[in-house]
Amino acid sequence: MRQPLENTTRLSFHSNIINNNNNICRLVVVVLIAIIVVGFFGSSSLVNAINQQEEEYKTLDNLPSFSKLKNLTVSGFGAGASMAIMMQVAHSQKVGGVASFSGLPYYCVKNNMSRLETCFKHTEKIPMSEFMEMFDKFIYFNLIDNLDHLPSHKIYLQSGSKDKSLTQQAALKSKEMYETLGVPKGNIKTVLDIPSGHSMVSVDYANAEKNQCGEKIKEPYIQNCGFDLVGDALKFVIGEDNFVNEANFVASAENLFKIDQRPFDSERHLMGDFGYIYIPSACQKDETKCKHIHVAFHGCDQTGDEFPLYSGYNRIAEQNNIVVLYPRTAVQDRFNPHAW
Protein backbone atom coordinates (compact mmCIF):
# COMPACT_ATOMS: atom_id res chain seq x y z
CA MET A 1 0.00 0.00 0.00
CA ARG A 2 1.32 3.42 -0.93
CA GLN A 3 1.88 5.77 2.00
CA PRO A 4 -0.28 8.93 2.40
CA LEU A 5 1.24 12.24 1.42
CA GLU A 6 3.09 14.25 4.03
CA ASN A 7 1.78 17.79 4.60
CA THR A 8 4.95 19.39 3.20
CA THR A 9 4.67 17.28 0.06
CA ARG A 10 1.03 18.30 -0.33
CA LEU A 11 1.85 22.01 -0.07
CA SER A 12 4.79 21.81 -2.48
CA PHE A 13 2.82 19.82 -5.02
CA HIS A 14 -0.20 22.09 -4.76
CA SER A 15 1.99 25.14 -5.43
CA ASN A 16 3.50 23.45 -8.48
CA ILE A 17 0.08 22.65 -9.90
CA ILE A 18 -1.12 26.22 -9.45
CA ASN A 19 1.91 27.53 -11.34
CA ASN A 20 1.78 24.93 -14.14
CA ASN A 21 -1.87 24.25 -14.93
CA ASN A 22 -2.30 25.29 -18.56
CA ASN A 23 -2.68 21.67 -19.68
CA ILE A 24 -5.30 21.08 -17.00
CA CYS A 25 -7.17 24.23 -18.06
CA ARG A 26 -7.19 23.05 -21.66
CA LEU A 27 -8.42 19.67 -20.51
CA VAL A 28 -11.36 21.30 -18.75
CA VAL A 29 -12.18 23.35 -21.87
CA VAL A 30 -12.22 20.29 -24.15
CA VAL A 31 -14.29 18.26 -21.68
CA LEU A 32 -16.74 21.16 -21.39
CA ILE A 33 -17.17 21.32 -25.16
CA ALA A 34 -17.64 17.54 -25.37
CA ILE A 35 -20.17 17.50 -22.54
CA ILE A 36 -22.18 20.30 -24.13
CA VAL A 37 -22.35 18.32 -27.38
CA VAL A 38 -23.47 15.26 -25.42
CA GLY A 39 -26.49 17.29 -24.44
CA PHE A 40 -26.20 18.67 -20.93
CA PHE A 41 -27.66 21.99 -22.15
CA GLY A 42 -30.75 20.50 -23.72
CA SER A 43 -31.61 19.79 -27.34
CA SER A 44 -31.44 22.17 -30.28
CA SER A 45 -32.18 21.90 -33.97
CA LEU A 46 -29.09 21.11 -36.01
CA VAL A 47 -30.57 22.46 -39.23
CA ASN A 48 -31.31 25.84 -37.64
CA ALA A 49 -27.86 25.96 -36.06
CA ILE A 50 -25.98 25.98 -39.36
CA ASN A 51 -24.75 29.38 -40.45
CA GLN A 52 -25.11 29.56 -44.23
CA GLN A 53 -22.40 32.18 -44.79
CA GLU A 54 -20.26 31.81 -47.90
CA GLU A 55 -17.04 30.27 -46.59
CA GLU A 56 -15.05 27.10 -47.00
CA TYR A 57 -16.85 25.32 -44.18
CA LYS A 58 -20.28 25.98 -42.78
CA THR A 59 -20.12 27.28 -39.23
CA LEU A 60 -22.37 26.09 -36.43
CA ASP A 61 -23.71 29.10 -34.54
CA ASN A 62 -24.42 26.83 -31.59
CA LEU A 63 -23.15 23.39 -30.73
CA PRO A 64 -26.00 20.95 -31.31
CA SER A 65 -27.17 18.72 -28.48
CA PHE A 66 -27.78 15.09 -29.35
CA SER A 67 -30.28 13.69 -26.87
CA LYS A 68 -29.08 10.10 -27.28
CA LEU A 69 -25.32 10.69 -27.06
CA LYS A 70 -24.10 8.59 -24.15
CA ASN A 71 -20.59 7.35 -24.99
CA LEU A 72 -17.38 9.39 -25.15
CA THR A 73 -13.96 8.20 -26.33
CA VAL A 74 -10.77 10.07 -27.27
CA SER A 75 -7.68 9.69 -29.43
CA GLY A 76 -4.89 11.73 -30.93
CA PHE A 77 -1.53 11.82 -32.66
CA GLY A 78 1.76 12.97 -31.12
CA ALA A 79 1.09 15.79 -28.68
CA GLY A 80 -2.59 15.09 -29.31
CA ALA A 81 -2.12 11.47 -28.26
CA SER A 82 -0.53 12.61 -25.01
CA MET A 83 -3.47 14.99 -24.52
CA ALA A 84 -5.94 12.18 -25.21
CA ILE A 85 -4.37 10.04 -22.49
CA MET A 86 -4.44 13.04 -20.14
CA MET A 87 -8.16 13.53 -20.80
CA GLN A 88 -9.01 9.84 -20.56
CA VAL A 89 -7.27 9.34 -17.23
CA ALA A 90 -8.34 12.66 -15.69
CA HIS A 91 -11.99 12.17 -16.68
CA SER A 92 -12.17 8.38 -16.60
CA GLN A 93 -15.72 8.46 -15.24
CA LYS A 94 -16.98 10.14 -18.45
CA VAL A 95 -14.44 8.91 -21.02
CA GLY A 96 -14.72 5.23 -21.90
CA GLY A 97 -11.55 4.54 -23.89
CA VAL A 98 -8.52 5.97 -25.67
CA ALA A 99 -6.36 5.47 -28.76
CA SER A 100 -2.84 6.90 -28.61
CA PHE A 101 -0.89 7.24 -31.86
CA SER A 102 2.78 8.07 -31.17
CA GLY A 103 2.03 9.52 -27.75
CA LEU A 104 3.66 9.65 -24.31
CA PRO A 105 2.51 8.14 -21.02
CA TYR A 106 0.32 10.25 -18.75
CA TYR A 107 1.86 13.63 -17.75
CA CYS A 108 5.34 12.37 -18.58
CA VAL A 109 7.00 15.73 -19.28
CA LYS A 110 5.40 17.40 -16.23
CA ASN A 111 5.67 20.91 -17.74
CA ASN A 112 9.45 20.53 -17.45
CA MET A 113 11.47 20.97 -20.64
CA SER A 114 14.42 19.12 -19.12
CA ARG A 115 12.34 15.91 -19.19
CA LEU A 116 11.80 15.93 -22.96
CA GLU A 117 14.86 13.79 -23.70
CA THR A 118 13.89 11.24 -21.05
CA CYS A 119 10.26 10.99 -22.14
CA PHE A 120 10.95 10.84 -25.89
CA LYS A 121 14.11 8.75 -25.98
CA HIS A 122 14.48 6.90 -22.68
CA THR A 123 10.95 6.28 -21.42
CA GLU A 124 11.91 2.81 -20.22
CA LYS A 125 14.12 4.40 -17.54
CA ILE A 126 11.18 6.07 -15.78
CA PRO A 127 10.17 3.92 -12.78
CA MET A 128 6.49 3.00 -12.61
CA SER A 129 6.46 4.15 -8.99
CA GLU A 130 6.87 7.73 -10.27
CA PHE A 131 3.57 7.49 -12.15
CA MET A 132 1.76 5.82 -9.27
CA GLU A 133 2.88 8.47 -6.77
CA MET A 134 1.74 11.15 -9.20
CA PHE A 135 -1.71 9.57 -9.49
CA ASP A 136 -2.00 9.50 -5.70
CA LYS A 137 -1.25 13.22 -5.55
CA PHE A 138 -3.63 14.14 -8.35
CA ILE A 139 -6.45 12.17 -6.74
CA TYR A 140 -5.72 13.73 -3.35
CA PHE A 141 -6.12 17.23 -4.80
CA ASN A 142 -9.23 16.20 -6.78
CA LEU A 143 -7.49 16.95 -10.08
CA ILE A 144 -8.51 13.65 -11.66
CA ASP A 145 -11.29 11.11 -11.24
CA ASN A 146 -10.85 8.05 -9.09
CA LEU A 147 -9.03 5.45 -11.19
CA ASP A 148 -11.47 2.65 -10.35
CA HIS A 149 -13.16 3.35 -13.70
CA LEU A 150 -10.09 2.56 -15.81
CA PRO A 151 -10.23 -1.27 -15.80
CA SER A 152 -13.39 -1.17 -17.96
CA HIS A 153 -11.74 1.02 -20.63
CA LYS A 154 -10.33 -0.14 -23.96
CA ILE A 155 -6.80 1.13 -24.66
CA TYR A 156 -5.17 1.24 -28.13
CA LEU A 157 -1.47 2.15 -28.34
CA GLN A 158 0.37 2.61 -31.66
CA SER A 159 3.92 3.71 -32.39
CA GLY A 160 5.64 3.65 -35.79
CA SER A 161 8.66 1.40 -36.20
CA LYS A 162 10.53 4.18 -38.08
CA ASP A 163 9.59 7.03 -35.76
CA LYS A 164 12.76 8.98 -34.95
CA SER A 165 11.06 11.53 -32.69
CA LEU A 166 10.23 9.13 -29.89
CA THR A 167 10.94 5.47 -29.29
CA GLN A 168 8.37 2.71 -29.08
CA GLN A 169 9.27 2.42 -25.41
CA ALA A 170 6.80 5.26 -24.83
CA ALA A 171 3.90 3.07 -25.95
CA LEU A 172 5.24 0.14 -23.95
CA LYS A 173 5.55 2.33 -20.84
CA SER A 174 1.94 3.43 -21.31
CA LYS A 175 0.93 -0.22 -21.59
CA GLU A 176 2.77 -0.99 -18.35
CA MET A 177 1.10 2.00 -16.69
CA TYR A 178 -2.40 0.86 -17.63
CA GLU A 179 -1.73 -2.71 -16.56
CA THR A 180 -0.43 -1.45 -13.20
CA LEU A 181 -3.67 0.53 -12.83
CA GLY A 182 -5.68 -2.67 -13.27
CA VAL A 183 -6.65 -2.58 -16.94
CA PRO A 184 -6.89 -6.23 -18.13
CA LYS A 185 -4.39 -7.23 -20.82
CA GLY A 186 -7.29 -8.13 -23.09
CA ASN A 187 -8.45 -4.50 -22.98
CA ILE A 188 -5.13 -3.20 -24.31
CA LYS A 189 -4.01 -3.46 -27.95
CA THR A 190 -0.47 -2.47 -28.93
CA VAL A 191 0.49 -1.91 -32.59
CA LEU A 192 4.23 -1.52 -33.22
CA ASP A 193 4.75 -3.00 -36.70
CA ILE A 194 3.63 -0.13 -38.97
CA PRO A 195 6.78 1.30 -40.69
CA SER A 196 5.70 4.91 -40.24
CA GLY A 197 7.73 7.91 -39.15
CA HIS A 198 6.41 10.45 -36.65
CA SER A 199 3.17 10.95 -38.55
CA MET A 200 -0.50 10.11 -38.35
CA VAL A 201 -1.16 6.92 -40.33
CA SER A 202 -4.17 7.13 -42.66
CA VAL A 203 -5.35 5.44 -45.84
CA ASP A 204 -7.39 8.56 -46.62
CA TYR A 205 -4.39 10.75 -47.45
CA ALA A 206 -3.51 10.56 -51.14
CA ASN A 207 -0.85 13.25 -51.60
CA ALA A 208 1.94 11.18 -53.17
CA GLU A 209 4.54 13.89 -52.55
CA LYS A 210 3.87 14.20 -48.83
CA ASN A 211 2.44 10.88 -47.69
CA GLN A 212 5.33 8.46 -48.25
CA CYS A 213 5.36 5.91 -45.43
CA GLY A 214 8.68 5.85 -43.61
CA GLU A 215 11.26 7.71 -41.57
CA LYS A 216 11.17 10.98 -43.54
CA ILE A 217 8.29 13.21 -42.51
CA LYS A 218 6.65 16.28 -44.06
CA GLU A 219 3.77 18.55 -43.14
CA PRO A 220 0.94 17.87 -42.48
CA TYR A 221 2.52 14.78 -40.87
CA ILE A 222 0.07 12.24 -42.29
CA GLN A 223 1.42 9.10 -43.99
CA ASN A 224 -0.38 6.47 -46.03
CA CYS A 225 1.13 3.14 -44.97
CA GLY A 226 -1.65 0.97 -46.38
CA PHE A 227 -3.15 0.39 -42.93
CA ASP A 228 -6.46 1.80 -41.72
CA LEU A 229 -5.22 2.89 -38.29
CA VAL A 230 -8.28 4.85 -37.15
CA GLY A 231 -10.61 2.11 -38.36
CA ASP A 232 -8.67 -0.54 -36.46
CA ALA A 233 -8.40 1.64 -33.35
CA LEU A 234 -12.04 2.69 -33.13
CA LYS A 235 -13.24 -0.83 -33.79
CA PHE A 236 -11.23 -1.95 -30.76
CA VAL A 237 -11.97 1.02 -28.48
CA ILE A 238 -15.68 1.39 -29.27
CA GLY A 239 -16.43 -2.29 -29.80
CA GLU A 240 -16.83 -4.69 -32.70
CA ASP A 241 -20.61 -5.14 -32.42
CA ASN A 242 -22.24 -3.74 -35.57
CA PHE A 243 -19.04 -1.84 -36.47
CA VAL A 244 -19.00 -0.97 -40.19
CA ASN A 245 -15.90 -0.23 -42.28
CA GLU A 246 -16.51 -0.77 -45.98
CA ALA A 247 -13.62 -0.62 -48.43
CA ASN A 248 -13.43 2.49 -50.64
CA PHE A 249 -16.11 4.33 -48.67
CA VAL A 250 -15.77 8.11 -48.93
CA ALA A 251 -17.14 10.55 -46.36
CA SER A 252 -18.60 13.87 -47.45
CA ALA A 253 -16.52 16.96 -46.65
CA GLU A 254 -19.82 18.86 -46.42
CA ASN A 255 -20.43 17.17 -43.07
CA LEU A 256 -17.37 18.85 -41.55
CA PHE A 257 -18.31 22.09 -39.79
CA LYS A 258 -16.43 24.83 -37.99
CA ILE A 259 -17.33 25.50 -34.36
CA ASP A 260 -16.60 28.59 -32.28
CA GLN A 261 -14.36 27.66 -29.33
CA ARG A 262 -14.22 31.17 -27.86
CA PRO A 263 -17.21 30.79 -25.49
CA PHE A 264 -15.29 28.02 -23.70
CA ASP A 265 -11.88 29.64 -23.82
CA SER A 266 -9.68 32.39 -22.46
CA GLU A 267 -6.20 33.54 -23.48
CA ARG A 268 -4.84 31.44 -20.65
CA HIS A 269 -6.05 28.21 -22.25
CA LEU A 270 -4.32 28.87 -25.59
CA MET A 271 -7.14 27.32 -27.60
CA GLY A 272 -7.82 28.44 -31.17
CA ASP A 273 -10.81 30.62 -32.01
CA PHE A 274 -12.41 27.72 -33.84
CA GLY A 275 -12.33 23.94 -34.06
CA TYR A 276 -14.11 21.39 -36.23
CA ILE A 277 -16.87 18.86 -35.80
CA TYR A 278 -17.94 16.05 -38.14
CA ILE A 279 -21.64 15.19 -38.04
CA PRO A 280 -22.75 12.16 -40.09
CA SER A 281 -25.53 12.66 -42.64
CA ALA A 282 -27.97 10.39 -40.80
CA CYS A 283 -27.50 12.37 -37.59
CA GLN A 284 -28.21 15.67 -39.33
CA LYS A 285 -31.58 14.28 -40.37
CA ASP A 286 -32.31 12.61 -37.03
CA GLU A 287 -30.21 13.55 -33.99
CA THR A 288 -31.18 10.34 -32.17
CA LYS A 289 -29.19 8.30 -34.70
CA CYS A 290 -25.91 9.36 -33.06
CA LYS A 291 -25.11 7.84 -29.66
CA HIS A 292 -21.33 8.20 -29.58
CA ILE A 293 -18.95 11.16 -29.61
CA HIS A 294 -15.23 10.83 -30.26
CA VAL A 295 -12.70 13.60 -29.58
CA ALA A 296 -9.69 13.58 -31.94
CA PHE A 297 -6.68 15.70 -30.93
CA HIS A 298 -4.33 16.89 -33.67
CA GLY A 299 -0.55 16.75 -33.29
CA CYS A 300 2.11 19.45 -33.52
CA ASP A 301 1.79 21.75 -36.57
CA GLN A 302 -1.56 20.21 -37.53
CA THR A 303 -3.87 23.13 -36.82
CA GLY A 304 -5.02 23.38 -40.45
CA ASP A 305 -7.90 21.42 -41.95
CA GLU A 306 -5.85 18.49 -43.28
CA PHE A 307 -5.99 16.60 -39.97
CA PRO A 308 -9.81 16.66 -39.73
CA LEU A 309 -10.13 15.99 -43.46
CA TYR A 310 -7.61 13.20 -44.06
CA SER A 311 -6.68 11.49 -40.79
CA GLY A 312 -9.29 8.78 -41.31
CA TYR A 313 -11.96 9.57 -38.72
CA ASN A 314 -14.74 10.96 -40.92
CA ARG A 315 -15.07 7.85 -43.06
CA ILE A 316 -15.51 5.69 -39.95
CA ALA A 317 -17.80 8.26 -38.33
CA GLU A 318 -20.12 8.40 -41.34
CA GLN A 319 -20.55 4.62 -41.48
CA ASN A 320 -21.10 4.20 -37.74
CA ASN A 321 -22.99 7.40 -36.83
CA ILE A 322 -20.22 8.78 -34.63
CA VAL A 323 -19.89 12.51 -33.99
CA VAL A 324 -16.20 13.50 -34.13
CA LEU A 325 -15.04 16.64 -32.34
CA TYR A 326 -11.73 18.16 -33.49
CA PRO A 327 -10.61 20.73 -30.88
CA ARG A 328 -7.85 23.05 -32.05
CA THR A 329 -4.99 24.84 -30.32
CA ALA A 330 -3.90 28.42 -30.93
CA VAL A 331 -0.71 29.62 -32.59
CA GLN A 332 1.66 30.17 -29.69
CA ASP A 333 5.28 31.26 -29.31
CA ARG A 334 8.08 30.02 -31.56
CA PHE A 335 9.16 27.41 -29.01
CA ASN A 336 5.83 25.56 -29.14
CA PRO A 337 4.81 24.07 -32.53
CA HIS A 338 1.05 24.46 -31.93
CA ALA A 339 1.07 21.56 -29.47
CA TRP A 340 -1.28 20.89 -26.58
110 pLDDT higher than 80: yes
In a domain, 1, yes or no: no
Mean pLDDT of 22-31: 51
**Residue 12 amino acid letter:** S
pLDDT tens figures, 158-204: 999 999 999 999 999 999 999 999 999 999 999 999 999 999 999 99
Which of these, 77, 85, 84, 187, lies nearest to 135 by C-alpha position? 85
Residue 119 Cα distances to 109, 173, 298, angstroms: 6, 10, 20
Dist CA 216 CA 198 (whole Å): 8
Residue 338 lies in a domain: no
Is the confidence at residue 17, as pLDDT, over 50? no
Residue 66: the pLDDT is 72
Q: How many CB atoms lie within 10 A of CB 51?
A: 13
What distance in Å separates the CA atoms of residue 325 and residue 74, rounded to the nearest whole number? 9
* Domain-embedded: residue 331: no
Task: Specify the number of domains making up the chain.
Answer: 1
Q: How much is the mean pLDDT over the chain?
A: 84
pLDDT score for 68: 76
Give pLDDT tens digits for 251-303: 999 999 999 888 776 566 678 788 899 999 999 998 889 989 999 999 987 67
> Is residue 25 pLDDT above 50, yes or no?
no
Residue 292 lies in a domain: yes
Q: Which domain holds residue 279?
A: 7-326
The answer to the question of residue 2 being in a domain is no
The residue with greater pLDDT, 120 or 16, is 120
Alpha-carbon distance of 152 to 326, in angstroms, equals 25
pLDDT over 50 at 3, yes or no: no
Position 40 in a domain: yes
Name the β-bridge partners of 292: 71, 322
Q: Tell whether 340 is covered by a domain.
A: no
Asked if residue 49 is part of any domain, the answer here is: yes
The CA-atom distances, in angstroms, between 85 and each of 16, 77, 175, 235 are: 21, 11, 12, 18
